[in-house]
Amino acid sequence: MMVQQDLKKYNLKSVRHTVSAGEPLNPEVIDAWRAGTGSLILEGYGQKETVLLTGMFRCLKPRPGSMGKPAPGYEVHIVDDEGNRLPSGEEGDIGVLVKPHRPVGLFTRYKDDAERTAKVFKGDYYLTGDRAMCDADGYFWFVGRGDDIITSAGYRIGPFEVESALIEHPAVAESAVVSSPDPTRGEVVKAFIVLTQNYSSKDKEQLRTEIQEHVKKITAPYKYPRKVEFVESLPKTVSGKIRRIQLRIDEWNK
pLDDT tens-digit profile of 164-207? Answer: 899 889 999 999 999 999 988 899 999 999 999 888 878 899 99
Question: How far does Cα 22 stand from its chain's mean position?
Answer: 9
The answer to whether residues 197 and 84 belong to one domain is: no
Under the banding of pLDDT at 50, 70 and 90, the label for residue 146 is: confident
Residue 190: give its domain's CATH number. Answer: 3.30.300.30
pLDDT, tens only, 212-225: 999 999 998 899 99
Single residue among 119, 146, 173 that ends a domain in this structure: 146
pLDDT, tens only, 68-116: 999 999 999 999 988 899 999 999 999 999 999 999 999 999 999 999 9
> Distance between CA 69 and CA 76 in Å, rounded?
9
The answer to whether residues 61 and 107 belong to one domain is: yes
The answer to whether residues 67 and 165 belong to one domain is: no
Residue 155 has pLDDT above 90, yes or no: no
**CB under 8 A, 24+ apart: contacts of 231-240:** 231/192, 231/193, 231/194, 232/194, 233/194, 234/174, 234/175, 234/176, 234/192, 234/194, 239/22, 240/22, 240/23
Domain that holds residue 72: 7-146
Which H/E stretch holds residue 140?
strand 140-145
Q: Is 222 among the domain residues?
A: yes
The answer to whether residues 20 and 63 belong to one domain is: yes
The sign of the CA dihedral 215, 218, 224, 230 is: negative
Which backbone phi and psi does 53 adopt, to 5 degrees? -105, -45
The lowest-confidence range among 1-10, 53-62, 79-88, 228-237 is 1-10
Under the banding of pLDDT at 50, 70 and 90, the label for residue 5 is: confident
The answer to whether residues 86 and 166 belong to one domain is: no
> Distance between CA 31 and CA 80 in Å, rounded?
33
Residue 55: give its domain's CATH number. Answer: 3.40.50.12780
> Whose CA is closest to 179, among 243, 247, 233?
247
CB 172 within 8 Å of CB 196: yes
> Distance between CA 167 and CA 29 in Å, rounded?
9
Tally of structural domains, the chain: 2
